[in-house]
Structure 1
Amino acid sequence: MNKSHWPSCPITHLIMKRLIPDSVKADAASYLGRGASIIYVAVNHVLEGFVALADRVRSESRDVVDDLHSLNVTPVLLTGDYGTTARHIAKRLNMSHVIADCLPEDKMNTVSTLQQAGYVVTMVGTLHYYCLILLKGGLS
C-alpha cells in the first residue's frame, strides 16, 4: 500500500479523504457497499490501513419490525452510523425511515421534536444510553 503522511493537526473528514490513496478508498468502498463503517488507521502519522466494522442484525429483528408494521407503528432507524451503513441495515430490516449521522444531541433533539409533535417514542438499543435520551426529551 502507498503510505500517506498525516498532518500533525486535527484532521477533518474532508482533509482526511484527500490523504487516502484512491486504491485504499476503492478497497474501503467495497465494504461500505455492504453496510460497514470504515476506520482508517495511522501510526506515526502514516496511513497503515483501515478496519471495516459492521453491525450484525439479530435474526429476530426483521420479524419484530414486520410486527410493528402490522400494528401500524412506524419504526425509525435513528443512528450515529454513516448514511450508507444505516440505509443498508434499514433495507435488511424493511424500514423506510432512516435518520443517520446523528450525534447524541441530534438523537435527543429528534426524540424531543417527535414528542412535541404528539408522537409516542419508544427506543430499542443500548438501554442506559436511550433512557438518558428519553428522559432528556421528556417521557410521553
Structure 2
Amino acid sequence: MNVVEITKKFCIYAGHKKILYRKTIQLTPARVHDRTQLDTLVDNPGTTYVFDRGFVDYAKFDAFCERRIFFVTRAKKKAAIRYLFDHPVSEGSSIKRNGYVQIGTQQNRMNHVLRLIETTDSQENPFC
C-alpha cells in the first residue's frame, strides 16, 4: 500500500477575514521524515513558522535566523539551555520566565541567541 503524507493548508480568521494561509503543499511518501521538508516549506523571510518538537535542528534554526525567518517551537525536555539574561515578568502572569538563551551543548550549540518563554498550561503544568 502506498501512503502519502500531506502538509495541510492552514487559515487563521479574524472575524470573517482570512489573515494568513499557507499556499505550499508538499506531497511525500509517509516514510519521509518531516524534518527533511523544512527547506521546501520554510522559505519566506519575515514569516513566523510554528513547529512541534520533532523539527529540532539547530543548524537549520541558525540558517533561519540568518535569513530572518522567525519560528516558534517547544523546547525538548532534555535540551541544553544556557540562560543569558531575563526580562521581568508580571506577578500572577502565566509567563514564569522570559529570557534570551543559547540552545545546545558546547559541541552542538546554536550560534544565534533565541528568546525562550516558559509558561504554564491551564492546570499549571510547565510549558515551554
Q: Which TM-score band applies after superposition, normalised by the shorter structure?
A: under 0.3
Q: Which has the higher helix share?
A: 1
Give the TM-score of the pair, scaled to structure 1.
Answer: 0.26
**Whose radius of gyration is greater, 1 or 2?**
1
Give the TM-score of the pair, scaled to structure 2.
Answer: 0.27
Q: Which has the higher strand share?
A: 2
